[in-house]
Amino acid sequence: MPSGRVTAAYGRHFLVDDGTDVVECVMRGKKGGVACGDRVSFNLTHPGSGVIEKVEPRDNLLYRSDEMREKLIAANVDQAAVVVAAVPYFREELLIRCLVACETADIPVLIVLNKADLPETAALAEYLKTYVELGYALVAVSAKRDVSALEAHLRDHTTVLVGGSGVGKSTLLNRLVPGADAATGEISIALDAGKHTTTHARLHRLPGGGALIDSPGMQEFGLRHLSMAALMAAFPEINARAGQCRFYNCRHIKEPGCAVLEAAARGDMLPSRLKVYQSLLGQLSESR
């Protein structure tokens, strides 16, 4: 049976690259999802079209989940580039949720600060130094001017671009993959937000080796699938202090003698990150 890699996922339709040709496939029956980046086996039904029969076991899978369902983003990636920008605006909660999802899926992350050409970016670059101190890799680029700092990180890897709408993922892709010709959107001033220009994930081969997956910008990153242990492990500054709390099972909400809360009170932890941690924890307890 021929096999290949899924390079586009449009609902129940997929493009599969077998190394020579791109075959349009559907999934048989209603079983499980197929994600961009999946390795699959398929049967040809006509020249150029086929049916996916089997999804090979995945190295990893990045997905989000809300109350209703799971939304697959990409499979079998070496890393995720979480793209942020000061324009239209920086959404720290979305960044944190992306970082937590990648950590939970065992996917190394790189924070990409885009739009370095804009004056609004300087303050955000300063703010993100805290993330570097936490151990995250960060590169600043301008999709409009210079992306060389990012190129070195992408070579020979499969990388998925994730982040909010309008941060410039598709513009980065077009710059890095000449001829990709992905649609990019003008930011709607009226809404002061991205417009969700990209609607489906797509994998492109990088000219220097490796692949880049562009994904639709997200408004929310649902994390219903998280366990409490995974949540705590995904915050390095909490993880590092958890053993110092008075209670071994401290949840770092309002317990006395909590080393995490004390660190936050001293200014040794970003209050915004503690707040997102606590709200994620609250949602987990609700959904159980």
Ligand X SMILES: Nc1nc2c(ncn2[C@@H]2O[C@H](COP(=O)(O)OP(=O)(O)OP(=O)(O)O)[C@@H](O)[C@H]2O)c(=O)[nH]1
Kindly list the residues in this chain that would bind ligand X in the complex (CB under 6 A). 114-115, 117-118, 142-144, 165-171, 184-187, 194-198, 216-217
Question: With respect to ligand X, which residue has the nearer C-beta, 64 or 169?
Answer: 169
Question: With respect to ligand X, which residue has the nearer C-beta, 21 or 117?
Answer: 117
Our finding on whether 170 is near Mg ion (CB under 5 A) is yes
In the list 80, 100, 161, 245, the residue contacting Zn ion (rule: CB under 5 A) is: 245
For residue 261, which phi and psi values (nearest 5 degrees)? Answer: -65, -40
Closest approach of Mg ion to the CB of residue 287, in Å: 30
Q: Could you tell me the CA-to-CA distances from 24 to 50, 58, 180, 181, 233 in Å, in that order?
A: 6, 21, 19, 20, 40
Question: With respect to Mg ion, which residue has the nearer C-beta, 141 or 276?
Answer: 141
Which residues are 39's β-sheet partners? 5
Stretch that binds Zn ion, among 32-40, 90-98, 164-172, 252-260 (CB under 5 A): 252-260
The item of Zn ion, ligand X, Mg ion, none sharing an interface with residue 225, based on CB under 5 to 8 Å by kind, is: none
Our finding on whether 260 is near Zn ion (CB under 5 A) is yes
The item of ligand X, Zn ion, Mg ion, none sharing an interface with residue 196, based on CB under 5 to 8 Å by kind, is: ligand X
Residues touching Mg ion, count (CB under 5 A): 4
Q: Could you tell me the CA-to-CA distances from 125 to 102, 119, 133, 233, 255 in Å, in that order?
A: 22, 11, 13, 25, 34
Collapsed DSSP state (helix, strand, coil) of residue 124? helix
Question: With respect to ligand X, which residue has the nearer C-beta, 161 or 231?
Answer: 161
Q: Could you tell me the CA-to-CA distances from 279 to 253, 275, 283 in Å, in that order?
A: 10, 6, 6
Question: With respect to ligand X, which residue has the nearer C-beta, 196 or 224?
Answer: 196
Question: With respect to Zn ion, which residue has the nearer C-beta, 59 or 262?
Answer: 262
∠235-71-3 over CA atoms, to 5°? Answer: 110
Our finding on whether 258 is near Zn ion (CB under 5 A) is yes
In the list 110, 252, 264, 277, the residue contacting Zn ion (rule: CB under 5 A) is: 252
> Cβ-count burial of 2 within 10 angstroms (0-12 exposed, 13-18 middle, 19+ buried)?
middle
Our finding on whether 104 is near Mg ion (CB under 5 A) is no
> Over the range 129-154, which residues count as b (16 or more CB within 10 Å of their CB) and which as e?
eebeeeebebbbbbbeeebeebeeeb
Binding site for Mg ion (CB under 5 A): 169-170, 197-198
